[in-house]
């Protein structure tokens, strides 16, 4: 294992110290490293709180700031944060309008956020993201996994929260955006969890894992490496077969890197997907390419499509200032 670390025991706390210090203009660190929060809260706004295992950076703490999350709870690498982290975060950033938890659909995350919600004072609701079309059940999940589409849900809800919408309206909006979002990933290599010291799984030089999860969970099938166009065609086809898009329908396209794939290859994949969508009469109204929901150093990517309407397009375009997303 070759990694830039001092100790597997301190990798998370040292990384959080560096992260928050780098973005000290917009972030602050909670006691005992329980959460990362917006430095300046907006009174009367519904508090948006998320979290999950580390190793997916910039998800989630990279999306804390104006126009997105108010707080994020980082667990150990690929490990759910604890209910006391979530409770501490919610109590710290709730200014009186209630708390909306945004939870990726993994059993540990869902269970711990449910426990936190029961203990959180005031009004609390949760949105569970489950955008992965690859499999219906996986290593850590019952039902579809929450993956890169989560950041789209957070961006759109975050903009609506800045407008002053109430908790029930944000909850309904989050569920709607999640329902209109689909993703699928492919891995060219495995990743190595620092505490394990060895790859999560092995792939031959000529193999790829189609439909891989963001923790290295198995996908639909292991197949021979193919061209970018062929990979994009299979992934996009699987996504579109699960959506009801009419010709001319506007979508948001996210091509997300898993941490070990060069930007050149991600943009090449984006080009391949655009050609496929164009051939089906689907309009890419907005797009984003880069490493946003990663899996440590895994090589590969995911494709996410969100069916847009006028409201979600305006909310996507609304100003945002976080470490990972800013316009």
Rounded CA-CA distance 73/77 in Å is 12
State phi, psi for 158 to the nearest 5 degrees: -60, -40
- Please answer whether residues 180 and 306 qualify as being in contact, where contact means their C-beta atoms are separated by less than 8 angstroms: yes
What is the number of other CB atoms lying within 10 angstroms of the CB of residue 93?
22
The count of residues in the chain is: 327
23, 56, 66, 171: the active-site residue: 56
Active-site residue, 171 included: no
**Helix H or strand E encompassing 104:** strand 99-104
300: Cβ contacts below 8 Å, ≥ 6 apart: 185, 186, 187, 188, 189, 208, 209, 212, 257, 258, 260, 261
23, 66, 171, 215: the active-site residue: 215
Number of helices and strands in the chain (H, E)? 8, 14
**Residue 54, SS3 per DSSP:** strand
Rounded CA-CA distance 280/312 in Å is 22
Look up residue 151 and give its two tokens.
Answer: 């950041």
Terminal Cα-to-Cα distance of the chain (whole angstroms): 37
- Distances, alpha carbon 25 to alpha carbons 22, 66, 78, 124, in Å: 8, 12, 28, 28
Strands 221-224 vs 207-210: parallel, antiparallel or unpaired: antiparallel
Active site residues per annotation: 56, 215
């Amino acid at each position: 294992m070759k990694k830039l670390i001092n100790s597997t025991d301190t990798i998370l706390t040292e990384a959080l110290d560096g992260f928050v210090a780098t973005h000290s203009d917009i972030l602050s660190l909670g006691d005992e490293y329980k959460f990362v929060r917006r430095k300046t809260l907006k009174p009367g706004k519904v508090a948006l709180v998320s979290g999950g295992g580390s190793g997916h950076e910039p998800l989630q703490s990279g999306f804390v700031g104006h126009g997105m999350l108010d707080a994020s709870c980082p667990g150990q690498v690929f490990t759910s944060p604890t209910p006391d982290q979530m409770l501490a975060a919610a109590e710290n950033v709730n200014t009186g309008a209630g708390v909306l938890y945004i939870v990726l659909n993994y059993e540990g995350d869902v269970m711990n956020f449910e426990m936190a919600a029961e203990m959180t004072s005031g009004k609390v609701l949760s949105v569970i993201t489950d955008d992965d079309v690859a499999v219906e059940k996986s290593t850590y999940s019952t039902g579809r996994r929450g993956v890169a589409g989560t950041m789209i849900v957070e961006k759109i809800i975050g903009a609506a929260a800045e407008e002053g919408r109430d908790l029930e309206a944000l909850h309904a909006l989050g569920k709607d955006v999640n329902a209109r979002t689909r993703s699928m990933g492919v891995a060219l290599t495995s990743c190595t969890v620092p505490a394990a010291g060895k790859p999560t799984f092995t792939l031959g030089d000529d193999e790829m894992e189609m439909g891989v999860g963001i923790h290295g969970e198995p996908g639909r099938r292991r197949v021979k490496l193919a061209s970018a166009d062929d990979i994009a065609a299979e992934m996009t086809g699987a996504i579109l077969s699960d959506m009801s898009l009419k010709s001319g329908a506007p979508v948001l396209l996210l091509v997300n890197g898993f941490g070990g794939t060069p930007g050149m290859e991600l943009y090449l994949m984006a080009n391949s997907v655009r050609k496929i969508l164009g051939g089906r009469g689907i309009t890419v109204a907005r797009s984003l390419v880069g490493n946003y929901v990663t899996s440590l150093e895994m090589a590969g990517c995911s494709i996410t499509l969100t069916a847009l309407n006028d409201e979600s397009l305006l909310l996507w375009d609304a100003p945002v200032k976080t470490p990972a997303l800013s316009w």
